[in-house]
Structures are given as C-alpha cells and as structure tokens.
C-alpha cells in the first residue's frame, strides 16, 4: 500500500510530500536550529583563542579536517541513537571554534559587523532558495551527488595547494566555486529528504549543516576581499 500523501503549502502553491519525508524534514530543521547553539559558543571560544590556530594555520587545518571526517564516520555509525546527535553537536562546536579567527579578522574591519551580517543573510537566502526549489519541484537531484563529490575533492586539493602558493586571485576563485558547489549540495540533500532518499534526520542535518557552514565561511571571505574596509 502506498503511503497517503499530505499537501504542504509553500506560499507559491502546494506540493505532495509523504508523511515520513515531512517528519524527516521537520526534524532536520529542528536539529539544524539546535546546532546553532554549539556553533555560536564555539565561535566565541575560537575568537578568544584565535592565536592557537594562527600559530600553525596549516597544521590546524589538517587536524580539523581529520577531526570532522572522523566525527562524520561516528555520526553515521550512531545515526539512530542519541550518541549520533551528540557527535553532530560536537562537530558543529569544533567548526564554530575553527571559524573564530575568520570572524576576528572580519570584525577588525570598519564594516566588519555589516559583512558578517551580509554573509549570514546571503547564506540564509541560499538555504531558503534551495529549500524552495527542492519542495516545489518533482525532480530528483540525487544524480548530482557524484559530480558534486568530485568537485568538492578538486576544490579541497586546490585549497590546500593555495595554502602554500598564496595566490589571492586563486583564493577568490576557490571561494566562489565553493559557494556554488555547496549550494548545489544543499539542493541535493534537501531534495533527497523531500523525495524520501534520506530517511535519517541526523544524517540529513549533517549534510545540510556542512553546506551552510562552507557557504557562510566562503561568502564572508569574498565579502571581506571585495568590500572590506580596513582601519
């Protein structure tokens, strides 16, 4: 027997979403809101201890990358228990901490608060836009997964290379492409929830959070490079 579909209003019409998908989507949004607490707390701690990362930025990057990958494996392993939620919150706190030095640099600018606000608003706009597309179209965007994963690996390699090359134009290009790739990742992940491809809200939240984190961080870097006003 096929599950009864429920109609969800989007403001521009209605789409039919299976009850299970509605529940996963709702729980994903609730857990995503909860991840903002350790993220903000971690960012505050990171701003106070920015010298730790600044002392060895490349080593700090690789340690954080290894920690995030390890936590993702843990989240996947315990996705059906409260341990998975705890590991997700730990990961978001660590990423918030890693964001601290970038926020310090931004807020040191004359228009720093404005730039952070623009980056947050821009990230929110991307989230709303991708969510609108995912819930109002009947297309399955899961086909993009492999291409986006390859693109992410290529960008990661380019980012690591530019840590040593220090080419400003390349950094701007990488940040721009990261925003595009993770915006599409966001669409891919939200679409999988809506179409029933992802049935675990902990895993769904992990993917959505990582996309939003990367969009915000790289959008802020672009805004600082293009519109930052130094004292």
Confidence (pLDDT) at 39: 97
Say whether pLDDT at 15 is over 60: no
Q: How many domains does the chain have?
A: 1
Domain membership flag for residue 55: yes
Would you place residue 2 in the very low, low, confident or very high pLDDT band (cuts 50, 70, 90)? very low
Would you place residue 143 in the very low, low, confident or very high pLDDT band (cuts 50, 70, 90)? confident
Confidence (pLDDT) at 18: 54
Domain membership flag for residue 12: no
Region 211-215: mean pLDDT is 97
Would you place residue 4 in the very low, low, confident or very high pLDDT band (cuts 50, 70, 90)? very low
Domain membership flag for residue 174: yes
| CA atoms of 108 and 52, how far apart (whole Å) | 18
How many C-beta atoms lie closer than 10 Å to residue 223's C-beta? 22
Domain membership flag for residue 7: no
Domain membership flag for residue 165: yes
Q: What is the pTM of this model?
A: 0.89
| CA atoms of 76 and 61, how far apart (whole Å) | 22
Q: What's the gap between Cα 132 and its chain centre?
A: 17
Residue the block writes with tokens 């969800």: 8
106, 112 in Cβ contact below 8 A? yes
pLDDT tens digits along 55-113: 899 999 999 999 999 999 999 999 999 999 999 999 999 999 999 999 999 999 999 99
Domain membership flag for residue 41: yes
Domain membership flag for residue 13: no
Output the average pLDDT for the chain.
89
Domain membership flag for residue 49: yes
């Amino acid at each position: 027997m096929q599950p009864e579909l429920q109609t969800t209003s989007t403001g521009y019409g209605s789409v039919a979403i299976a009850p299970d998908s509605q529940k996963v989507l709702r729980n994903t949004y609730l857990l995503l809101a909860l991840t903002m607490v350790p993220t903000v707390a971690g960012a505050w701690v990171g701003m106070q201890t920015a010298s730790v990362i600044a002392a060895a930025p490349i080593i700090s990057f690789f340690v954080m990358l290894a920690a995030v990958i390890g936590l993702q494996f843990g989240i996947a392993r315990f996705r059906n228990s409260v341990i998975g939620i705890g590991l997700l919150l730990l990961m978001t706190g660590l990423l918030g901490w890693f964001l601290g030095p970038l926020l310090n640099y931004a807020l040191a600018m004359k228009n720093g608060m404005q730039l952070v606000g623009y980056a947050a608003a821009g990230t929110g706009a991307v989230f709303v836009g991708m969510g609108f597309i995912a819930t109002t179209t009947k297309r399955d965007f899961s086909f993009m997964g492999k291409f986006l994963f390859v693109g992410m690996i290529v960008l990661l390699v380019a980012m690591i290379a530019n840590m040593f090359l220090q080419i400003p134009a390349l950094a701007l290009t990488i940040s721009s492409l990261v925003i595009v790739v993770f915006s599409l990742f966001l669409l891919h992940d939200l679409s999988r929830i809506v179409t029933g491809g992802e049935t675990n809200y902990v895993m769904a939240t992990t993917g959505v959070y990582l996309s939003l984190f990367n969009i915000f961080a790289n959008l802020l870097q672009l805004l600082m490079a293009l519109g930052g006003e130094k004292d």
